[in-house]
Structure 1
């Protein structure tokens, strides 16, 4: 009988230091997508101890820190799977935190978290995690958190797939494309006109014979002819070259309940001989490419114009 009592006392002495030094208040594990976990142990030390040993869930830890209830660091030294904490003042509790990858393992798409604890442990998973298997019945389930009972535990889970968001802004892209096309066409036209003018002037300068008499009368006549031709061209391009029957056309168009833009487009085509490029009409009216395209389609559906392709450009022919 004495031997049994001695054995029980010896066992109590061996197992009691941790309890004599204090007790765990809580242990929590936060799981990350990378396989790392963050462990937080809240330990309440005994008031009669100066140095205490607090067990860790594993010996391979990173960024180990110990702080008191006010967040002030407390000196410590890790010794394998325990941490020796040196108390220099009265401390209500110790906040021990560390990171580790030793508690998780992966096979295929399934991760497994394994740990052993003397008290219940609350495990928090990333949003969207699917629990595949549990070694024991949870004490509590709340949102993404599971509280497991004391002892050896394992939780198998799969992580959510990353979500890639794709936003398509059709109208914005169309507007940007139209603006870019208009700027490119304008720049190209300006450069072509400048190059042609420079080339023409160079050829004229190089091919002109050396004057033997005063060139002013001849040059004056040439200038007058050129100015007259340019004036006629600009007058015709401005839409005033063909106004015959325009009043009658306007009366017809008013009876068709057309928009102002549609009437201006039809009058422009009439003034230019009954047919014109879509691009010229659109530029003259200052319309975006998409808006003009829809307008011409409406006019074609009503039988007012005919749209046909000439080369690489769309032309519009008046059918009134």
Structure 2
């Protein structure tokens, strides 16, 4: 009984020792990730497409991490790569692939990785696009005079620093399209002159051209109608003109028998005049049952034709 009690006590002591030692041992050699809310990246974009990336990885006050595997933003230019710890001392590292590093943290509170890269931007004609993935918050500093055209996700914050737009982006995929305007300042007087010229070229000039074109088209149409009227007046007799007047008085539409009743003409004679008016392009004939339905074409033009 006594030996059994001693065995149980020994097991409890061993369990307590392992509970203290194993977590420390495991934490010292595993690949750990820093706390989300204290890790971030700053990406400074330049006008030529290059970017200066500065990533801060936070591990905490009581850090037991010895080795940290970091995935970078883009492929770094190795001769520009520097890594320092919280004591501003250089940190040893090894490259693992194009965009990954094996960093020997050795218990530092935080480390800062800085480098230059040109692999997160590309240009399509005049439009620049920056595209990267980062698991923590990033601050994207656009070049001076940059204008954002498109963005894949809503920024957490937008502000200006040293005349440059800064986008505070949430974790995940970031894709921003932008264009660069002229870098030189334009005097205020020149800006006003440019604004006036832009207004003239955008609105007043097209409106003036449209008005002039409309006047010319109207003048050509009136000239053509006058020419057509003078030509038709020589072809139409008094009966033709009377038929046109009667149909006009009836709203521009009438049945053939209605015209025949008013003019008291033989059916064949009236039909000959109707066919003549149709061939001149003045009337259209629509068959309705056993009679014809007559319609005038171009009533304003026909008023000039039968005037006087």
Name the TM-score class by shorter chain. Answer: 0.3 to 0.5
Ranked by relative contact order (alpha carbons within 8 Å, sequence separation 6 or more), the top structure is 2
What TM-score comes out, normalization by structure 2 length?
A: 0.45
